C-alpha cells in the first residue's frame, strides 16, 4: 500500500525553529547565526561586534562547539551572558539545541543574540535555528576559491564577512574573483571585508547589524 | 555527516506515517532531494542502512529523486534551469532571481504492508 506523505524531512527541526523565531519576535530580540570554518575568526568577530555595540544594546551569545567551554568562557570574561552548547560530536546546531539554550537566557532583557555555530562550511546550511539572519565568515587565508567548493553556505547567507582582511597582502587572495563568484551564488548578500582583530572595516558590518536590531526592536514593541 | 540527522528525519516521518495507517512493514521510502542541498548520496545511503536497522523500515529500499535547480528571474519573470554557479537568466541576462526548486529535502511517499 502506498501512502503519500509530502513532508519536509526536517519538519520537526523547522517547527521548533519557528517556535524559537516566535519567542524572539515577542521579545523584540534580533538573532544572528554566525557560520564559518574552524579558525576563521568567529569568536574574535563576536568580541569585536560586542565591543562596538555593548553601549547601545543588551547582548548575549550562544556558543556551539562539539566539546569544551572555551569560547563561552572567553565571552563571559567580557561580562556578556554566554550559553555553551556542546553538540557531543554533531557537526551543526539544531533548533532544539537553541530552544534549550534560550531557556537559560532572559530574552526580554536582550536586544541581540549572537549564535556561534559549529565550525563547518557544510552541515549548518540545512538547519533553520529560528534566527533572523545567517551570516558566514570567510577568512582571507582560507582562499578565494572556497565559494566554488562550499557553494551552499554562500547561497543561504544574508551577508558574508571577509575576515582577516589585514592579511591580504601575505596571501594570494583574489578579491575580484571572490566577489564575482559570491555575486553569482548570492547577488543580494553584501560582503564586508574587515579585520575583527584590528577593527578595520568592522563599522560597515556593525551598521548592517544595527539596522536589523532596530527593526527587530520595533517589531517587538509593536507586538507588545 | 549531517546526513545522519536528515536520515533520522526521513525514518521517523516514515515510521510515524506507517504506524498511523496500521502497517507493520515499510517496503520503500521515496524522497526528493534538491541538487542545491549539501546532501551526499553515499553518505545518505550509508546513514539509511545504519539507522533503519531495528525499525519497521529494516527491509526498506530508499528511492531518491534528485530535483534540479530552477529559478524565476526577478526582472523578466522567466523560469529557467541553471547550475549553482551560474543562475543567469537566459532570457534577459539578469543575475537576480528567486529559486523555485532545488533545495528540497522532502519525504514524498512510502510503500507499506
Q: Is the CB of residue A29 less than 8 Å from the CB of residue A110?
A: yes
Give the mean pLDDT of A88-114.
Answer: 92
d(CA B85, CA B74): 17
**What are the backbone dihedrals phi and psi of residue B25, each rounded to the nearest 5 degrees, phi first?**
-145, 135
Instruction: Tell me which residue in B31, B85, B96 faces A187 most closely, judged by beta carbons.
Output: B96
Q: What is the pLDDT of residue A126?
A: 87
Write down the ipTM of this complex.
0.86
Q: Where do the structural domains in chain B lie, given as residue ranges? A: 3-69+101-112
Closest CA to A36 of A117, A155, A145: A117
Query: For residue A223, is pLDDT > 60?
Result: no
Q: What is the pLDDT of residue B29?
A: 97
- Cα–Cα distances in Å, from A16 out to A40, A65, A85, B113? 29, 20, 17, 32
Residues A9, B10: C-beta atoms closer than 8 Å:
yes
Give the mean pLDDT of A61-79.
Answer: 89
A86's grid cell: 556542546
Query: For residue B83, is pLDDT > 90?
Result: no
Q: What is the pLDDT of residue A43?
A: 93
Query: For residue A57, is pLDDT > 60?
Result: yes
If one compares B86 and A178, the residue with the highest pLDDT of the two is A178
Judging contacts by C-beta atoms under 8 Å, the chain B residues touching residue A4 are: 108-109
Q: Which CATH class is domain A11-213?
A: alpha beta
d(CA A77, CA A96): 27
Q: Which residue has the cell 547601545?
A: A56
What are B9-57's pLDDT values in tens digits?
A: 899 999 999 999 999 999 999 999 999 888 889 999 999 999 999 999 9
**What are the backbone dihedrals phi and psi of residue A41, each rounded to the nearest 5 degrees, phi first?**
105, 30
What share of residues in chain B are helix, strand, coil (percent, to 5)?
25, 30, 40
Give the mean pLDDT of A11-27.
Answer: 94
Q: Where do the structural domains in chain A lie, given as residue ranges? A: 11-213
Mean confidence (pLDDT) of chain A: 93
Residues A10, B105: C-beta atoms closer than 8 Å:
yes
A1, A3, A8, A9: which to substitute to probe chain B, counting the most B Cβ within 10 Å?
A9
Domain B3-69+101-112 listed as CATH 3.30.2320.50: yes
Query: For residue A73, is pLDDT > 80?
Result: yes
> How many percent of chain B have pLDDT more than 90?
77
CA atoms within 13 A on the CB side of A109: 8
Q: What is the pTM of this model?
A: 0.87
Q: Which residue has the cell 551560474?
A: B86
Residues A1, B17: C-beta atoms closer than 8 Å:
no
Q: Is the CB of residue A218 less than 8 Å from the CB of residue A25?
A: no
Q: What is the pLDDT of residue A224?
A: 41
Q: What is the pLDDT of residue A112?
A: 98
d(CA B81, CA B99): 10
Q: Is the CB of residue A19 less than 8 Å from the CB of residue A99?
A: yes
Q: How confident is the model at residue A143 (pLDDT cuts 50, 70, 90)?
A: very high
Q: What is the pLDDT of residue A87?
A: 83
CA atoms within 13 A on the CB side of A80: 30
Chain B: give the shortest CA distance to residue A127, in Å: 10
B53's grid cell: 536497522
> How many percent of chain A have pLDDT more than 90?
78
Judging contacts by C-beta atoms under 8 Å, the chain A residues touching residue B31 are: 9
Q: Which residue has the cell 566554488?
A: A148
Mean confidence (pLDDT) of chain B: 93
Closest CA to A158 of A125, A181, A180: A125
Amino acid at each position: 500500500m502506498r501512502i503519500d506523505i509530502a513532508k519536509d524531512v526536517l519538519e520537526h527541526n523547522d517547527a521548533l525553529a519557528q517556535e524559537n523565531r516566535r519567542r524572539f519576535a515577542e521579545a523584540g530580540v534580533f538573532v544572528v547565526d554566525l557560520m564559518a570554518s574552524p579558525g576563521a575568526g568567529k569568536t574574535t568577530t563576536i568580541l569585536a561586534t560586542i565591543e562596538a555595540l555593548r553601549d547601545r544594546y543588551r547582548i548575549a551569545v550562544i556558543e556551539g562547539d562539539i566539546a569544551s567551554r572555551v569560547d563561552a568562557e572567553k565571552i563571559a570574561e567580557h561580562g556578556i551572558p554566554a550559553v555553551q552548547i556542546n553538540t557531543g560530536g554533531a557537526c551543526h546546531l539544531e533548533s532544539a539545541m537553541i530552544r534549550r539554550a534560550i531557556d537559560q537566557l532572559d530574552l526580554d532583557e536582550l536586544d541581540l543574540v549572537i549564535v556561534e555555530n559549529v565550525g563547518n562550511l557544510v552541515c549548518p546550511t540545512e538547519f533553520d535555528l529560528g534566527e533572523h539572519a545567517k551570516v558566514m565568515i570567510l577568512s582571507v587565508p582560507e582562499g578565494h576559491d572556497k565559494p566554488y567548493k562550499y557553494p551552499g553556505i554562500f547561497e543561504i547567507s544574508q551577508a558574508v564577512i571577509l575576515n582577516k582582511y589585514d592579511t591580504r597582502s601575505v596571501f594570494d587572495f583574489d578579491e575580484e574573483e571572490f566577489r564575482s563568484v559570491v555575486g553569482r551564488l548570492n547577488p543580494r548578500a553584501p560582503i564586508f571585508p574587515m579585520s575583527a582583530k584590528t577593527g578595520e572595516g568592522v563599522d560597515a558590518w556593525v551598521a548592517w547589524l544595527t539596522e536589523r536590531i532596530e527593526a527587530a526592536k520595533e517589531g517587538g514593541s509593536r507586538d507588545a | 555527516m549531517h546526513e545522519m540527522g536528515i536520515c533520522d528525519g526521513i525514518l521517523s516521518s516514515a515510521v510515524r506515517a506507517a504506524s498511523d495507517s496500521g502497517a507493520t512493514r515499510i517496503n520503500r521510502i521515496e524522497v526528493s532531494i534538491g541538487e542545491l542541498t549539501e546532501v551526499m548520496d553515499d553518505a545518505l545511503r550509508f546513514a539509511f542502512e545504519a539507522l533503519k536497522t531495528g525499525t519497521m523500515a529494516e527491509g526498506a529500499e530508499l528511492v531518491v529523486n534528485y530535483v534540479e535547480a530552477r529559478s524565476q528571474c526577478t526582472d523578466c519573470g522567466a523560469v529557467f534551469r541553471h547550475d549553482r554557479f551560474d543562475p543567469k537568466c537566459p532570457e534577459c541576462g539578469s543575475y537576480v532571481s528567486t529559486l523555485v526548486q532545488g533545495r528540497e529535502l522532502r519525504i514524498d511517499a512510502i510503500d507499506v504492508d
